[in-house]
Amino acid sequence: MNRLIIVLFALLAFQAGIAQNKIKIESAEELPKHYYDLQGNKAMDYINNRDLLLELAITLEKDLRDDLEKYDIQDKATLRGYHSNFSMIHFLKDDMKSALEEIEKGRKLTEKESDKYMYNFTLDEFIKTRLEYSDLQEDEFKEAFKANLSSVLESMPFEVVQEDIEGMTGSLDIAKPNLIQGMIEGQMQPIIDKAGKQVPKFIVLQILNAALTYDMYLPYVDEVYKPVFQTYYDNHHVDVVMVDIWKERDVSFKDDLDLDPVVIGIWDSGVDESVLPEENRWINGLEKRDGKDNDNNGFVDDINGVGFDLNGNKVTELLFPIKEKNSNYQQYEKYLKGLLDLQAMIKSDEADELKKYIVTLPPEEVNPFIENLNMYANFSHGTHVAGIACKGNPKAKIMAVRLTFPYENIPAPPTLENSTYWAKMYKNTVQYFEDNNVKVVNMSWGYSQNSYETRLAMNGVGENEEERKALAKKLFNTEKDAMYSAMKDAPEVLFVVAAGNSNNDVGFANNIPSGLKLSNLLVVGAVDIEGKETGFTTMGKGVDVYSNGYEVESYIPGGEKRKYSGTSMAAPQVVNLAAKIWAVNPDLSVAEVKDLIVKGATPSEENKDILLIHPQRSLSMIQ
């Protein structure tokens, strides 16, 4: 026995030595990047030529295997991605058993309850059916696959997977070959053309994913996926009554209460102040709409807030001038509503209109369509956030601060000039908050060093990975340092930020602002109306509290109301609570308000590390 223990300890020590020799990856920007010379081949060439596709897949697989040999990666979301990619590559290579092994490895790394069921389960069942019925003709295989897929779905608890099922079922109505081809030719190919011999890994993965889509997705949409998913949904959704925990937690103030006004900064894509109740609009009484800086504060016509364009220059418009870019933008509001309705399994005229439009959309018009949809989503985002932040609080005063984000699928590359302007913009914005007694700021956005490196690669900037990485780091840190110092130097302002929607770890992702470590910053994740984890929310020790971010109703520009989902909708729920706390007691410090929010929160029943805000409890604790 003693010898066995000694041998085991020796083995463990040896294994530890191996791990120590690997390069430890602490954050997402440290992950290895890979670039490929496609030798003049077009993206569609790989879809149409299997040998060419497999050659590319094998090259990528070697690089990914080498990554795991060379680097010590502990982040589960990243590792799940590796195993998902391996399963896809093995499938394309017709190595089905190895594909199943990789799916199982990835599933063991899932952290959310829904992911344990949903992780690559359609590919899993497709492969198992192929292996079980290898001699069947295609029509017979479809029936067997349909039966197996249905059986697996029926074994899943609907209340756990409902969000995923709704999204997947709704997307089936727009899964059309013309859409996939349009994305390949309109989004992937321009990047390949610009990148030359330095095509980034994510494009190669997209090509392989497209091939997988053509192989095991598109041919089975109408005869397998749609009837199976729809039947499962129809059989179970009527039996599941979601209990809204937020109704009994929420607090709504009346006008006759003795409350203090609280200025809320909505630092976002812009706000249509006209749709908010008049009592909720912040007004700079020293300014007129006359094209002049009447109060000499450096901003012209800042009656309800300030704006900055894509380059970080000051502008007077608090909303992105969408009419100048797309005179038909109101149609895209309908398309966006239709898309959201499809994903929520809601029957509507807008959903029907979107389905009909997608079917007739030529491949060359797919990219402009998606960009216009992105543009409208950006345009409406800030107004939706603002409506959530001031709901039920007549003393909330919404100040709009407009950022401008790119909406293009291939945005222009970042530059040092732009980053310098954005750094200045961050400092000017936070100073504006301080000068106007803003108590709490909502920041439902974020980005990373990796996103800048990706944009450089998409535009063919940089001779190699090292050059791109160095430039991306310089640009990102220029902005990050400015944001950090500005927020740190405003200790009397509470900054509430969205954790992110990438189903990953907030600390590993290292985005800004959610990755900043500041005493006056609060990071928010998203749950649904029952307080259960959403499939999209970013999580981790760096997330302070969670609130409802699933199908939250609020205003869009023009005054109508829509339901949006995301941590973008969860963060303003916490801002709303902070503003109500200060309305009751304006003398509380930022630390005291944070403490009331966190201490009032209650642990989730499914995960004790998830703290769900409880406005009633927090407000009742005010001394």
Tell me the catalytic residues: 268, 381, 568
Euclidean distance between CA atoms 622 and 423, whole angstroms? 37
Residue 24 identity: K
**3-state class (DSSP) for residue 265:** strand
CB 268 within 8 A of CB 207: no
Q: Which residues share a beta bridge with 602?
A: 612
Q: Which residues contact 134 (CB under 8 A, 6 or more apart)?
A: none
- Write the DSSP assignment of 451-508 as a string of letters: HHHHHHHHTT-SSSHHHHHHHHHHHHHHHHHHHHHHHHT-TTSEEEEE--SSSSBHHH
Euclidean distance between CA atoms 53 and 47, whole angstroms? 7
* Residue 545: burial class (beta carbons within 10 Å; 0-12, 13-18, 19+): buried
Cis check: omega of the bond before 513, within 30 degrees of 0: yes
Strands 23-24 and 602-603: unpaired
Q: Which residues contact 231 (CB under 8 A, 6 or more apart)?
A: 150
CB 304 within 8 A of CB 284: yes
- Write the DSSP assignment of 132-189 as a string of letters: HTTT--HHHHHHHHHHHHHHHHHTS-HHHHHHHHHHHHHHGGG--HHHHHHHIIIIIH
Which residue, among 290, 165, 172, has the nearest Cα to 223 in the 3D structure? Answer: 172
The secondary element (H helix, E strand) that includes residue 9 is: helix 2-21
Distances (CA, A) of 485 to 219, 426, 482, 538: 54, 9, 5, 25
Q: Which residues share a beta bridge with 511?
A: none
CB 351 within 8 A of CB 342: yes
Euclidean distance between CA atoms 303 and 299, whole angstroms? 10
Strands 545-548 and 521-527: parallel
